Structure formats: structure tokens, C-alpha cells
Structure 1
Amino acid sequence: MSDHDQIQAVARAAVLAGGAELRDRYRDGDAEAEYGAHDVKAAADVAAESRMLPVVREAFPDHAVFAEEAGEFAGDEPYRWIIDPLDGTNDFAAGLPTFASSVAVLRDGEPLVAAVHQPATDETYVARAGEGVRYDGDRVDAADARGTGGEAAGDLAGATVAVIVGRDVPRDPALAAEADALRAALGDRVKRVLDSWAPTVHSGLFARGRLQGIVQFRPDEEERAVTELLATEAGAAVRRDGDLSVAATDEATLGELCSALDGADR
């Protein structure tokens, strides 16, 4: 087994461990959390991370790690792990099944491996640079989205697009206004705009052809590497412009999405 094979295996094991904790708490109706105006901090976050962090640290004690709850762990290797024990905390607390445990591994700052497990539906995604995306073991492709609703490349009329914003956006009136303008511009062109509370879940749907686009505005580090690797390795067309990142099933659809966003009153 190569080093990257082992990293991929450990990433998958970590999200399965965190997901097992989340699944039990979700089924028990666990809603213990601190509720703020713009965010929720659930007890399940801490509990899931306590299951995930040892899996990574025991396998790779010399790797740097950022865990959402425990913080930074220094390392001497070129690898850095990013652990998000509960992506979609608002959904989890509300009793919705759209939440996941996720892990990203960077090598020299670039995404190498991403793993996502959705415990409520028992779905797992694993992406690796140059190796594609696998959904429950099978290779998937974002271009399959064109067959979902019969829409052709570049046709936004039947498209579903997820919008992902970072946690700092709702707290800043100027950034919130920019995000609203982006949503409004998309709403004029596409069938449906999803305001994502669980970026890795919707990025997985995009990677296997269930959504036609992903728009990220100032995304959080915990999700950004996962969503970008899933999109790239699923063969999507991707464009980045400062704080804005857009992914679509193909270049024609990407061009139409970017054209719509260029018209946003930001």
C-alpha cells in the first residue's frame, strides 16, 4: 500500500467513525446545542470529532491537523488534515438528514484526498487527486447531471444550483448583501437555487450528477478543500475569481452560470 493509499484509507475510516457517532445521536433525537443568531454549535460536533481525531493522529502522528473543535496540531510533514466532524449542524439540530462528517487532506497546500460520510443515509464519497470520485465504491461523474432532467449543456432553465457561503458572510451586512445579489442573479436564470447548510452533502450530489452547479462565496476552510476536490475529480468545469468559486457540469453551463453571476448587483 502506498502512502497515498494509506492516507485515503485513514480518511475514509475517520469519516465512518465520526458518522457512527452522529448516526446514533441523530436517531436518539439529540438536539443539545448552543444556538446563536447565525450558527449552531452542537454537542454532536465535539463527540464526533473525539471519534475521528484519534484515527488520524494514531495513523499519522507527524502530520499537521486542523480539527474544527480541538484546533491546530503542528506537524513536520507536507501533509495537513482538515477535520469537520459535523457539516450541516443546523440541519442536524433541526432533525433534517442532510449532514455529514468530512475530512480533507492537503499536500503542500493542495487538496489530495477528500472523504465524506452521510450517516443518516449511509452514503460515502472518496475523492483523490488524479483518481476521480467514488460514491459507495463506484466511480461517478458530474456530467451525468445532464441526464437527470433532460437538459442540454449550457441550458440553465432546468438547472439546480447550490449556493455555499462561509460562516462570516451572514455576520457582515456588506458580505450578506453580496451573497443575496448572487442568489438573486441565479434565481433569474435557473430553475432552483439551494441555499446550502451542508456544503459537503451538496457537493457530493453535484459530483454524482444530481445538481448542475455549485457556487461558493467565501467558503469556510473546513468545506472548501472537500468541495473543490469533489468537483475537480468529478470532471466538472471550475472557475475561481477571488472570493467566488463556480463549478458546473461542463464548460457551456459554467459559462452561462458565470454570465448570470456577472450580472449580480454586488
Structure 2
Amino acid sequence: MSETLQITDADLLDQTAIAVQEAGSALLERFGEVVGYQTREELMAALVANDDAALAILRPRLTRLRPDAGWVEDELDGGALPAGEWWVVDPAEGNVNHLHALPEWAVTATLVRDNRPVLTAVHLPLTGQTYTALAGAGAHLDGRPLRVSRTADLGLGIVATSQARPDEDEEVVRRVGSSITAMLFDALVVRTSVPATLHLLNVAAGRIDVFWQFAGARADLLPGALLVTEAGGRISDAGGRPWTPESESFLAAAPGVHAGAVATLSR
């Protein structure tokens, strides 16, 4: 049996965490000044340059760990994956923030096995923090266990949402707007910013109570979905139904406010 097949998922997670940390260091070297652009083409070129800098580290390291695993080429892709193992990677989650010298960005890598995330590592280069989760073994921040909040009243809760991508169709945009309005009535505070992953880290750590999003890609939801689940939270679509990467909406919440969030988002 080859060395690759013998490695445990726990050991694989440790190596994945090292890979995202090294990629994060490469992005950190590129961070600091606002990157100017005048056209969509110039913006896309700057985004791709960041992605390529991180992928130059991530792809060979993760491929060595799991040479038979597939690789999701487009971080904005959604829907189900074929059977087997796949690396779902966002080399610069919150890339547009990085270009604008804003602090909300990260590097993520998630191993999906038969359409179920089994491990994830999310590194925040500006703080040096690394969030990890392993299916059935909990979620951690730099080795310390994470737990979602105990809030049981949505009216006392901090909630958050994110824009999945630019250029959403009109129906999605209107849904986002109406959901924010509904939450402004029912929750204590509503936060809106990108990227989704950083909100989901906060749900897993018990800092905020609810995160929801309409539309979305595997790369921006799978890492947080595993972290929140392993920290004791609930994952569904906005209507309370089981969530899959094919769902049209996503909801992550502390158990005590999940039903209230579903009721608010279903109005």
C-alpha cells in the first residue's frame, strides 16, 4: 500500500493546514497597497495574479497529498461534484478585499469525498490564525475547540450575510435585499460584507449567531459549513431544508436561533 493511501485524515488535515499557511505567506508579501484598476479586465488580471501566487504553492502540495483527487478549477463553481475525492480550494478568499488593502481575506482548502466535506483548513495571514475542521472530530482554532453561540433569541443575535458574486441576476439581488430588511426587523444587528467564509468562521467560534446567503459557490460555503457543523451549529437552506452545493440558498446558525432565522427568511 502506498504512503498516500496510508495517511489518516487527521494527518492529512495537518498537512493541508501547512499548505494554506505557506500560500497565505505568499499573499501576505503582496498585501499592503490598494491595487488600482480602471476596467473589468484590469481587475480580473489583478485577481488572477493573486490566485496564481497562492496556487503555485497550494496545487503541488495538495496534489502530492492526494494525487488521485480531482481539482475544482473554478472557485465560483457550484453544484454537485462527481464521485470520489476532490480538492475545493479558494486561493484568495476575499481576493477583492486583498486588492483594496482591506483585512478580510483568507486561504482555504477543503477535501470533499463523495460530495461530503471531510476536512478543511482556513488560514488568515494577517492574524496568523488557522481554523480547521475534521468530520466527526470537531472544529478548532489553532488547536483550541470551537463552539457556536448559546443564543436562543434572534432578537438578541448578531447576524450576517454576504454577496456571493458580482453580477447576480435581478431575482437574487432582490431576494438579498428583502432578506436584509427582514433581518433588520428581527435581529439585533445585521452585518453585510464579503467573503462568506469569514462570517462562517465567526459563527463556528460563537461570535455571531446566524449567517445566510443566496446563491453561492462550493469554495465559499463548504469550508464554513464543515466548521459550523463540527462546532455544533445547524446548516440548511434558507427554508430549513437540508443544504447541498446544489441548493439556491444557505443558512448556518446556532441551534437556538436556527428556527427563528428560517422563519424570518421565509417571509
Q: TM over 0.5: same fold?
A: yes
Match of 2:260 among 256, 260, 263: 256
Secondary structure of 1:226's counterpart equals: helix
Say whether the 8 Å CA contact 2:203–2:252 is kept in structure 1: no
* Cα gap change, 1:45 to 1:3, in 2 (>3 Å): same
Aligned to 1:223: 220
- 1:35: how far off? 5.6
**Structure 1 stretches of 5 or more lacking a match?**
147-151
**Deviating more after overlay: 218-227 vs 59-68:** 59-68
Structure 1: distance between partners of 2:59 and 2:38: 22
Say whether the 8 Å CA contact 1:18–1:85 is kept in structure 2: yes
Structure 2: distance between partners of 1:35 and 1:19: 27
Q: What's the CA shift string for 1:176-205, capped at 9, x where partnerless? A: 111111111111111222223111112111
Structure 1: distance between partners of 2:259 and 2:188: 17
Q: What is the TM-score with the length of structure 1 in the denominator?
A: 0.84
Match of 1:195 among 192, 204, 222: 192
Aligned to 1:173: 170
Q: Aligned pair 1:15/2:12, yes or no?
A: no
Say whether the 8 Å CA contact 1:207–1:234 is kept in structure 2: yes
- Letter paired with 1:198: P
Q: What's the CA shift string for 1:108-161, capped at 9, x where partnerless? A: 111101110000111110011101101011111012xx4xxxxx41x1223211
Aligned to 2:201: 204
Structure 1: distance between partners of 2:173 and 2:40: 17
Q: Aligned pair 1:142/2:148, yes or no?
A: yes
**Structure 2 stretches of 5 or more lacking a match?**
1-5, 242-246
Q: What's the CA shift string for 1:41-73, capped at 9, x where partnerless? A: 52212211111111111222211111447x9xx
Q: How much identity, in percent, do the aligned residues show?
A: 26
* Cα gap change, 1:5 to 1:68, in 2 (>3 Å): same
Secondary structure of 1:26's counterpart equals: coil
Structure 2: distance between partners of 1:35 and 1:6: 44
Q: What's the CA shift string for 1:193-249, capped at 9, x where partnerless? A: 222311111211111111111112111111121121111111012222441222211
Say whether the 8 Å CA contact 1:13–1:55 is kept in structure 2: no
Aligned to 2:87: 81
Which has more strand, going by share of residues?
1
Q: Aligned pair 1:24/2:21, yes or no?
A: no
Structure 2: distance between partners of 1:33 and 1:105: 34
- 1:25: how far off? 1.1
- 1:2: how far off? 4.0
Alignment: residue pair count: 246
Structure 1: distance between partners of 2:173 and 2:258: 24
After TM superposition, where is structure 1 displaced by more than 4 Å over at least 4 residues in a row?
Answer: 32-35
- 1:5: how far off? 2.2
Structure 1: distance between partners of 2:64 and 2:58: 10
Q: Aligned pair 1:55/2:61, yes or no?
A: yes
CA RMSD, aligned part only? Answer: 2.4
Secondary structure of 2:156's counterpart equals: coil
Structure 1: distance between partners of 2:227 and 2:92: 18
Say whether the 8 Å CA contact 1:161–1:192 is kept in structure 2: yes
Say whether the 8 Å CA contact 2:104–2:195 is kept in structure 1: yes
Structure 2: distance between partners of 1:6 and 1:54: 17
Q: What is the TM-score with the length of structure 2 in the denominator?
A: 0.84
- 1:101: how far off? 0.2
